Amino acid sequence: MKIDLKTLTIQKAHEALQKGDFTSVQLTQAYLDEIKAKNKDVNAYLEVFADAIEQANEADKRITESKKVKSSNTDKGTDFPLLCGIPSGIKDNILIQGRIASAASKLLENYHATYDATVIAKLKAESAVFLGRLNMDEFAMGGSTENSAYGVTKNPYDLSRVAGGSSGGSAAAVAMQGALFTLGSDTGGSIRQPASFCGVVGLKPTYGAVSRYGVMAMGSSLDQIGPIANTVTDCEIIFKAIKGKDIKDGTTIDESTYDTNSRIHANAMKNTNKKMVIGVPRDFLKGDGIDSAVLKSFNEALETFKAKGYEVCDISLPNISYSLMVYYVLMPAEVSSNMARFDGVKYGLHKDGATVIEDYFESRKAGLGKEVIRRILLGTYVLSSGYYDAYYNRANAVRQMITDDFLKAFESVDIIATPTAPSTAFKIGEKTNDPVAMYLEDIFTVTANLTGLPAISIPCGYKEEMKGKLPIGLQLTARHGDEQALFIAGKDFLGEV
């Protein structure tokens, strides 16, 4: 049978696998066919795993066994997991045992992971199918996937434009029907911005909600793993599958860490006539750098929420304008520390020099790209003697002020709404020679990473261009631990049942 990948969701696929409408092998083959047809142009996948069909076959065996158990014991029969047999793609900085994990860098071109990341172990427990590893900005440093050592990922809506970054491959794979869901990592918007550019849904969970064990660290106080999918419901399903406390990651939290029972929206949900309150930082949206089509689409989205019964009000976030500056001090500092392990000695590319120090220099010079080197140098500078207090400590103090502003705002609202990005997908090469212009693309997304708050990007419209239309994303941010508020509002906005 012909499988309609454009309208397929995890729940629909699960039900079809249950009924026997198609098998996981057939579903996986349908995605492999799409990848074969489109990836040569889009470059979302760096590698398609040769054993994808074999994985699907194992999932089918589990499904068949589950059906047998259920039919022989109707009282206690259990369904197979929701993600069983569901084809997915994985960002190239997330370790899968025995597979190459290069972080899109020449430095790790032939590095094979020796263990599974916790999120991979959880997906394997559900018998999800891994189609392949996805392109990204080298070591997740960038906002366009132009920094990949293996070529830029192109936007499926317009191949002359970027897919966003650093999880550009993850977003493009879903947008081109090359996976039913993917995993990405988000340090300053690296899930949400490409989701916005590619017209899909991307979730950055609460800091610590998902284990980062087995994920190459970029900014350890900022990084989070999250899902990209076609619907909010699918992102919710994946989030529930991968979240949870992990003894291998000391930053992880459990559901009792944050009190989500006393939320304003919890009371509102008991009364179907009353819905959540959405706050809008209007002063922050008055800058010249926001595309008029993005602002128009954002305002129309707010009207949609109002029509659905939500209250929309203006809020003040006095220190939000400093977010980007704070981020680009703290993030490079953490990059500088985390990248110290890639010295060409223990693993990865090695080049011989005249001395051990020269080995380090030669290995890094041969293996690292321009943007990674730029961030290492900047981070080393702000951490150096004489500048540590002036830059790093001061940035941390302002970070706390920004967090306090958000927490105060959440005393009166349930969700804070902004555009996901100030523009739609830009032309490939348009901003590669202007790092500041590239960094400004993160202006709305970095706040969720600085504060540790959960945020989601959902499609909210299109900008008409000569070659067609370009997606626009709406970003919703909620209280710590309150992803449920994002799921409720996001599904309501998109009309998901």
Q: Are strands 201-204 and 158-162 parallel, antiparallel or unpaired?
A: unpaired
Q: Exactly one of 38, 66, 88, 91 is catalytic; which is it?
A: 91
Q: Which of 148, 190, 323, 336 is catalytic?
A: 190
Q: Check residue 479 and give left, alpha or beta (phi > 0: left; psi -120 to 50: alpha).
A: beta
Q: Two tokens at 336?
A: 């500088």
Residues 428, 175, 211, CA angle at the centre, nearest 5°? 95
Active site residue 292: no
Instruction: Report the C-alpha gap between 349 and 210 in whole angstroms.
Output: 30
Length of the chain: 497
Q: How far apart are CA 202 and CA 170, in angstroms?
A: 10
Question: Is position 91 annotated as part of the catalytic site?
Answer: yes
Q: Rounded to an integer, what distance in angstroms lies between the CA atom of residue 349 and that of residue 364?
A: 8
Quick check: 279 and 415 in contact, CB under 8 A? yes
**Residue 181: both structure tokens together:** 């869901």
- How far apart, in whole angstroms, are the C-alpha atoms of residue 72 and residue 70? 6
Task: Show the tokens assigned to 406.
Answer: 């958000």
How many distinct helices (H) and strands (E) make up the chain? 16, 13
First to last CA, the chain: 26
DSSP string across 265-284: HHHHHHSTT---EEEE-GGG
Which residues are CB-neighbours of 280 under 8 A, at least 6 positions away? 302, 312, 313, 314, 315, 416, 417, 418
- 469 annotated active-site: no
Q: Where are the beta strands (DSSP E) in 78-231?
A: 87-91, 129-134, 154-155, 158-162, 181-186, 201-204, 224-229
Considering 166, 167, 170, 297, which one is annotated as catalytic? Answer: 166
Find the helix packing angle between 483-494 and 232-242, rounded to 10°. 160
> Cα separation of 154 and 164, whole Å?
9
The closest of 334, 477, 340 to 410, measured between CA atoms, is 477
User: Alpha helix (H) ranges present in 339-428?
Assistant: 356-367, 370-382, 394-409
- What 3-state class would DSSP assign to 97? coil
CA distance 181 to 163: 16
Q: Kind and range of the H or E element at 463?
A: strand 455-465
Distance (Å, rounded) from C-alpha 369 to C-alpha 372?
6
The residues carrying an active-site annotation are 91, 166, 190
